[in-house]
Amino acid sequence: MRTVCFYFQVHQPYRLKPYRFFDIGEDHYYWNDYLNRNVIQKVAQKCYLPMNSLLLELIQRYDGRFKVAFSISGTFLDQMEAYAPDVLESFQRLVATGHVELLNETYSHSLAALKSKDEFFSLVHTHQKRIKELFNGYSPKVFRNTELIYSDEIGAMVAELGYQGMLTEGAKHILGWKSPNYVYSNALNPNLKVLLKNFRLSDDIAFRFGDKTWGDFPLTTDKFVNWLNALPKEEPVVNLFMDYETFGEHQWAETGIFDFIRHLPEAIFSQSNFSFSTPSEVLAALSPVSHIHVPTPISWADEERDLTAWLGNDMQDEAFDCLYELEKKIRKIKDPELLRDWGYLQTSDHFYYICTKFFSDGSVHEYFSPYDTPYDAFINYMNVLSDFILRVEAVSKK
Amino acid sequence: MKVLMFGWEFPPHISGGLGTACYGLIQGMNVHKQEVIFVVPKLYGDEEPVADFVNASGVTIDYREKRFKKLWKNLTYLEVNSFLVPYLGPKAFKKFTDYAIHDRTDVDESIFSTKYQFSGKYGKNLMEEVSRYALVGAQIARDRGDFDIIHAHDWLAYPAGIAAKEISGKPLVVHVHATEYDRSGESVNFPVFEIERAGMHAADHVVAVSQLTKNICVRKYGIPPEKVTVLHNAVLDASIITSSYQKKVPEKIVTFLGRITYQKGPEYFVEAAKKVIERDPNVRFVMAGSGDLLNKMVDRVAELRMGTKFHFTGFLKGDDVDHMYAISDVYVMPSVSEPFGIAPLEAVRHNTPVIISKQSGVAEVLNNAIKIDFWDIDAMADAIFGLLHYQSIARMFTELGADELKKLKWEHVAAKLVTVYEKILAPRA
């Protein structure tokens, strides 16, 4: 068996509104509804709707031989319900074909796995519940953690939750000479199988597709299938993991990204012996070749493939620690609004906006952030968090 | 008596305290029936008609005037290649000069135009504007013979004052609201220092806004002490402001409000905050304002892990400033070098007890305040803690501070200024 496994991440955070010091103690609504709705609706037009309809078309045309997997964050599910119900329906139609697999993740796209097992489990359970509600009782078998963050310990926790497998990055520094194109198993609990992203081929589509300065531009389906065929014959699976917004948003329609996907299945079927599989099909068909040792967490971000996009500078660490200091008190709280905010405040994007790695001396970094600088992001987040702490303390005292 | 005054800004179009001080002084002069011709680089038309305003942008300079040529020679020397902006820290200044060196293409374009459009701001052509302003000063001095004395406010207007003196032969008073040593510490911008020194030396008399500033004039600029008179600033309105604005958080609030620059000592406030929070978690600190040290302060606050207790508001204006004072339990001004510093007096008007550094001119007139050395973060923390917890001192300060405020009137300042003028003019009469 040789197979291609597509997984797309669908996520949008609840961005914070500009929240001033004067608002602390008075204004308890933190979310920038206008911006959040605009982003969802804009990306729906450019990506979610056209890409969903293209995938449906391909699944129908190839009668289920073409298939993909999605992980849809809870913050995205909530916003889709509120701002773009037509997008939700189109995802539901895809899942109803039976050829689209859904994965579980933490409900609020949180970094909780790095901090608290209890919170991590709780967020996974919430996500399971929401997926079940929205997708006709669907129950995922495979897990993906926020930003593909993985370590031996996180894998062991995921195994404990009963998942068969988990997705992560095929980071060079953990693989060494090994290939990402096999199934591996968790070093602490061999019951959990691990699928590794082939970052070269994934990023050829996700990052380099429209880059005219790239030596292999333009990327055609023939070229891509040649690369697949050039892989050592004994390597059974190529995991192509990427953000769903790659299609139409990161790579605009004008780059031809939709046509590339439209013709890729045909090229693969006619010019190679590869098939398409979903993660759970891969796990069922293949046995692990060995353990994979990941003592310190990896992710799919940046060249470093580590956590430094979200944690590491003083501002990020402080925001993160202050938030999770509240966990004990949160456990005793029933107020649904407080619990909702607790979840949304954990979304990894808030910490990403405070990243100073690409930021030097006033130059605005290219990455999409609603803030001008990481400092603005930190100040705004801390103002909101200060108000949130007051609310938690007020409820705890009762 | 009629005074020809050169300023740089005037309310309502102000970016610092200079315009407000000029306004107050003129109000005071009016009480004593003294006439003031007030020149500013740019008039907007909505200024309160308290003086005989002259818009420098509307003055036509007659370049055929021979005496101007010598002046102009000296001025171009000033202007060429001196990339100057006041109120910038070393880092921001470096960025500015890099920009100016690479992008500035407009040098000397307007030499031959007879009118010069001033921006009246503190922008990148500041030095050019300062030298053109001097030519305007010369022209006005030639056109109007109806004044007795010339008075120039701060270094931006000193060259205009000097030029006016050279053309008219009338005596010159320079008014030192700030010096380069206050703005930049020991790393002074030499061309600015030069202008300040030239102004003080060319002047018949120097007015300083505090003893602190007078000491700098004497020690750093070599002015004989008997040539310098201290005239403290006053407040336009000493009435107590009672605000209905309520604070929304249960904790006490300690506030720093001002530009976040070297001169204002923000880092000492941050360090003192840490010491207070360790002892008393029921306090919030607020740093209101912006400036080139803002990001550094944000970093330090995160490093000290007090981001949920230490807040940044960014630049505040209008009602927000009043609200900030109103909800503050303590106001701190830890300036490293503050010629005067009007902000603590605003805090007093809001019944907020204040802590000020001994390195501020306002410390010389405000007795009911805690005074500390700016670098003494332990003393600052003690003072903050004391004012928050021992209600009696705070109460005393607010009661007595209000009385002190009432004594700080611009008409008193103007009266003293008139005697300064009279002393200068006496030997000539």
String of DSSP letters for B164-217: HHHHH---EEEEES--HHHHHTTS--HHHHHHHHHHHHHSSEEEESSHHHHHHH
Position B159, amino acid: P
B308 contacts A378? CB cut-off 8 A: no
Of B95, B302, B311, the CB nearest to A21: B311
Burial A224-261 (b: 16+ CB within 10 A, else e): bbeebeebeeeebbbbbbbbbbbbbbbbeeebbbbebb
A314 contacts B323? CB cut-off 8 A: no
Q: What interface predicted TM-score (ipTM) does this complex get?
A: 0.78
Strands (E), B49-148: 52-55
A20 contacts B299? CB cut-off 8 A: no
Give the best residue of A379, A381, A384 to mutate against chain B (max B CB count within 10 A): A379
Distances in Å between the alpha carbon of B255 and those of B171, B192, B287, B323, B327? Answer: 44, 32, 6, 12, 9
pTM listed for this prediction: 0.83
B294 contacts A375? CB cut-off 8 A: yes
B389 CB neighbour count, 10 Å cutoff? 12
- Are B413 and B30 in contact by the 8 Å Cβ rule? The answer is no
d(CA B182, CA B166): 29
Averages of pLDDT over runs of 10 residues in chain B (429 residues) are 93 84 94 94 91 90 74 60 49 54 44 69 80 90 91 95 94 96 86 94 97 97 97 92 90 95 95 95 95 94 95 91 94 95 91 94 92 95 91 84 90 96 87
Question: Tens of pLDDT along chain A (398 residues)?
Answer: 799 999 999 999 999 999 999 999 999 999 999 999 999 999 999 999 999 999 999 999 999 999 999 999 999 999 999 999 999 999 999 999 999 999 999 999 999 999 999 999 999 999 999 999 999 999 999 999 999 999 999 999 999 999 999 999 999 999 999 999 999 999 999 999 999 999 999 999 999 999 999 999 999 999 999 999 999 999 999 999 999 999 999 999 999 999 999 999 999 999 999 999 999 999 999 999 999 999 999 999 888 899 999 999 999 999 999 999 999 999 999 999 999 999 999 999 999 999 888 654 434 344 568 888 888 899 999 999 999 999 999 999 87
On whether any CB of chain A is under 8 Å from the CB of B247, the answer is yes
Question: Distance (Å) from the C-alpha of residue B302 to the closest C-alpha of chain A?
Answer: 5
Residue B342 belongs to what H/E stretch?
none
For residue A279, whether the previous peptide bond is cis, meaning omega lies within 30 degrees of 0, is no
* Tens digit of each residue's pLDDT (9 = 90 or more) over A87-115: 999 999 999 999 999 999 999 999 999 99
Residues 6+ apart with CB under 8 A from B56: B39, B40, B41, B42, B116, B118, B132, B133, B136
Q: What angle do CA B126, B127, B132 make, to 5 degrees?
A: 100
Question: Distance (Å) from the C-alpha of residue B252 to the closest C-alpha of chain A?
Answer: 13
Q: What angle do CA B92, B95, B96 make, to 5 degrees?
A: 85
Characterize the bridge pairing of strands A183-186 and A193-197. antiparallel
* Tens digit of each residue's pLDDT (9 = 90 or more) over A16-67: 999 999 999 999 999 999 999 999 999 999 999 999 999 999 999 999 999 9
Grouping H, G, I as helix, E, B as strand and the rest as coil, residue B51 is coil
Q: What angle do CA B274, B278, B282 make, to 5 degrees?
A: 100
- Are A371 and A380 in contact by the 8 Å Cβ rule? The answer is yes
On whether any CB of chain A is under 8 Å from the CB of B294, the answer is yes
Model pLDDT, residue B183:
86
B286 contacts A314? CB cut-off 8 A: no
Q: What angle do CA A312, A314, A318 make, to 5 degrees?
A: 100
- Chain A residue nearest residue B324, CA to CA: A22
d(CA A285, CA A230): 22
Model pLDDT, residue B109:
40
B307 contacts A319? CB cut-off 8 A: yes
CA dihedral A248, A249, A250, A256 (to 10 degrees): 20
Q: What is the DSSP letter of B288?
A: E
Catalytic residue ranges of A = 147
d(CA A27, CA A146): 30
Residues 6+ apart with CB under 8 A from A256: A218
Angle between helices B391-407 and B377-389 (to 10 degrees): 100
- Are A142 and A165 in contact by the 8 Å Cβ rule? The answer is yes
Give the best residue of B93, B295, B304, B327 to mutate against chain A (max A CB count within 10 A): B295
Q: Bridge-partner residues for B175, per DSSP?
A: B153, B207
| Three-class DSSP labels, chain A | CCEEEEEEEECCCCCECCCCHHHCCCCCCCECHHHHHHHHHHHHHHHHHHHHHHHHHHHHHCCCCCCEEEEECHHHHHHHHHHCHHHHHHHHHHHHCCCEEEEECCCCCECHHHCCHHHHHHHHHHHHHHHHHHCCCCCCCEEECHHHCECHHHHHHHHHCCCCEEEEECCHHHHCCCCCCCEEEECCCCCCEEEEECHHHHHHHHCCCCCCCCCCCCCCHHHHHHHHHHCCCCCCEEEEEEEHHHECCCECHHHCHHHHHHHHHHHHHHHCCCEEECHHHHHHHCCCCEEECCCCCECCCCCCCCCCCCCCCHHHHHHHHHHHCCHHHHHCCCCHHHHHHHHHHCEHHHHHCCCCCCCCCCCCCCCCCCCCCHHHHHHHHHHHHHHHHHHHHHHHHC
A63 CB neighbour count, 10 Å cutoff? 8
Positive/negative CA dihedral, A141, A144, A145, A146: negative
On whether any CB of chain A is under 8 Å from the CB of B283, the answer is no
On whether any CB of chain A is under 8 Å from the CB of B307, the answer is yes
User: Number of A:B CB contacts under 8 A?
Assistant: 66
* Tens digit of each residue's pLDDT (9 = 90 or more) over A212-235: 999 999 999 999 999 999 999 999
Residues of A in contact with B277 (CB under 8 A): none
φ and ψ of A146, to 5 deg: -40, 130
* Tokens read off for B271: 């360090």
φ and ψ of A301, to 5 deg: -95, 140
On whether any CB of chain B is under 8 Å from the CB of A173, the answer is no
Q: What angle do CA B39, B161, B47 make, to 5 degrees?
A: 15
